[in-house]
Amino acid sequence: MENQEKHNIEWKAVWKDEYLVGICAFANAQGGKFFIGIDDNGEIIGVENSKKLLESLPSKIRDSMGIVVNVNLHKKDSLEYIEIDVPSYSIAISCKGNYYYRSGSTSQKLTGIELESFILRKRGATWDNVPHPLVKIEDLDQNAIQKFKELAIRKKRIDDTILEEDTETLLDKLHLINNGYLTNAALLLFSKDPERYFTGAFIKVGFFETNADLIYQDEVRGSLFEQIDKVIELIFFKYMKAKISYDGLQRIEEYFVSEASMREAILNAIVHKQYESGVPIQISIYKDKLYITNVGKLPDHWTEKTLYQKHGSKPYNPNIAHVFYLAGHIESWGRGIEKIFDSCIENNLPMPKYYINPTDIMIEFDAPQRLVIDNFSKVNDKVTDRVTDRVNDNMMKVLNVISEDPGYSYNDISDEIGISRKSVATIIKKLKDLGIIERIGNNKKGYWKIKK
C-alpha cells in the first residue's frame, strides 16, 4: 500500500457505521476509496469478519444513501482487507437525511446557505441565476448599465444592435432575467446598493503593520462594475507605495504587485465569490506582502495543482463572468491566473501563492527585497528634496500623519499632532497650494494623496 493517505483515500483498521458519513462525502465530491483492515500507517492488518462485511456493507450503504458502490475483497500475505470504491455522483446524495461533502481530508456537513448552493450546483443551476422577485428594472442603476454599454461597444464582443435595445430586452439577452424576474447577478452588477439584497457584497481593504495590528481600513461598495475600478484606485493611491528610481531623467515607479496582476486577482475573486456567504472579499496589505481572500471553492474535481496548469473557465458565477467578459474585464478561456503569472514574469516579480482552504481561497503576493520599503509609512519616501526645503515643522508633522493614514480628517490630524483644527486647515491649504498634496474624493469618504 502507499505510505500516505490521500484526500480521496481513507484507511480504517475496523469498520464502524459512522464511516457511512465519509462515503456520502466522497459520493458528493470527487469519489474515493475506503480500505477496511489497514491501519493509519498504511500497514495491512486484516479484518476477521471480511465475508460478513462483504455481504452487509452494500446493503447498509444502499439503505442509508440509496446508492450502489463496489465492495471488493483483497488478500495479501494471508491477510484479507476490504476496498469500498465510491464513485462521484452527479446528484446530491444524503446519508439518513443529512448531506456531507469531502473537502481536503475532512467530511463536512452541509447546512443552510452552503447546502442550498451545493444542491443548486448538482442540479446544474447557479446561484447567480436565481430570480429575485422583489426588485424591478427601474430600481437598477442606469449609470452602471450605461457604463457597461460603453465598455462593451469598445470591446466589440456583443452586437451593437443588442446594446441599443431597451433595458429589459438587453438584460434578458444577457441572461440576467429568469422567469420574468431580475436575477441575483443583475442586482450585483447593476443595482446601486447590492448590500440591500446581499449582506457582505462589498470589498474590505486594510493595511496591517503586523498580523495583529490593523493601521487603517476602507470598504468599497456599490455595483460590481463600480467596485473593481474603485478598489484598484484606492489600493494604488492610498495603500501601495512605489519604489522610486531614475533612468537618466526618466522617473520609474515600481510596485511589488503590478496593476495587471492586481486587477486580474480581484476580478477572479469577484466572479468566483460565493455571495450567499455574506462575507466580503478581503484585501490585506502589508509593506512586503498582499493577500486577497474570498469565500469560494474550486470547481468539482479541481485541485490546487489545476490552478497552475492550463485550464478551462468554470466561474462560480457564470452570468456575472459573462457580463464582465463582454465589457472586456476578463477573458472567457480561464486565462486570468495565466495573465497574473505573465505579468509577474514581465515585471520580474515573484509568482503568487494560492491557498485553498475549506471555506475560502486566498492568493498571496510577496515583495522582492528590492521593492520592500522599510519606512513604509514615512513621508520621506514621498517628498523629494525639492519640496522638503519649502515646509516647516508643523507642515512636516501633518504630512507624516496623513502618510500613516490618508483617510484622516481635519479633526483626526488635529488630535494626532496637538494643534487646533483651524491651524490644520491653514497648513493643509498651504500644502495644496505648494502642490504637495491633493484630496481624492469628497471630505467624508475621500483621502489624502501626497504627490510624488
Q: Which three cell numbers stand for residue 370?
A: 528590492
Q: Give start and end residues of each alpha helix (H) in 191-256.
A: 224-234
Q: What pLDDT does residue 389 have?
A: 53
Please, which residues have CB within 8 angstroms of residue 146's CB and are 6 or more apart in sequence?
A: none
- Please report, for residues 42, 150, 153, 171, 173, the alpha-carbon distance to residue 164 in angstroms, rounded to integers and kept in the order given: 65, 11, 10, 12, 12
End-to-end CA distance of the chain: 63
Contact 268, 279 (CB under 8 A): no
Distance (Å, rounded) from C-alpha 421 to C-alpha 444? Answer: 16
**Comparing C-alpha atoms, which of 309, 11, 299 is closest to residue 3?**
11
> Could you tell me which of 22, 89, 358 has the C-alpha nearest to residue 11?
22
CA 355, CA 357: separation in Å to the nearest integer? 6
| Per-position pLDDT tens, the chain of length 452 | 544 456 789 999 999 999 999 999 999 988 999 999 999 888 999 998 888 999 999 999 999 999 999 999 999 988 999 999 999 998 999 999 999 998 878 889 998 878 888 888 888 888 999 999 888 999 999 999 999 999 999 999 899 899 999 999 999 999 999 999 999 999 999 998 999 999 999 999 999 988 888 888 899 999 998 999 899 999 988 888 888 776 666 767 889 999 999 999 999 999 999 998 889 999 999 999 999 999 988 877 777 777 877 777 788 899 999 999 999 998 766 778 889 999 999 999 999 999 988 789 999 999 999 888 765 544 444 454 445 455 677 888 888 888 777 888 888 888 888 888 888 888 888 888 888 888 887 777 778 888 75
Segment holding 415, helix H or strand E? helix 410-417
Q: Cell 436575477 maps to which residue?
A: 183
Q: How many helices (H) and strands (E) does the chain have?
A: 16, 19
Residue with cell 471555506: 359
Question: Would you state the pLDDT for residue 376?
Answer: 53
Task: Report whether 244 contacts 356 (CB < 8 A).
Answer: no
pTM given for the model: 0.70
Q: List the beta strands (DSSP E) in 60-150.
A: 70-76, 79-86, 94-95, 98-103, 106-110
Cell representation of residue 166: 431597451
C-alpha cell at 283: 484585501
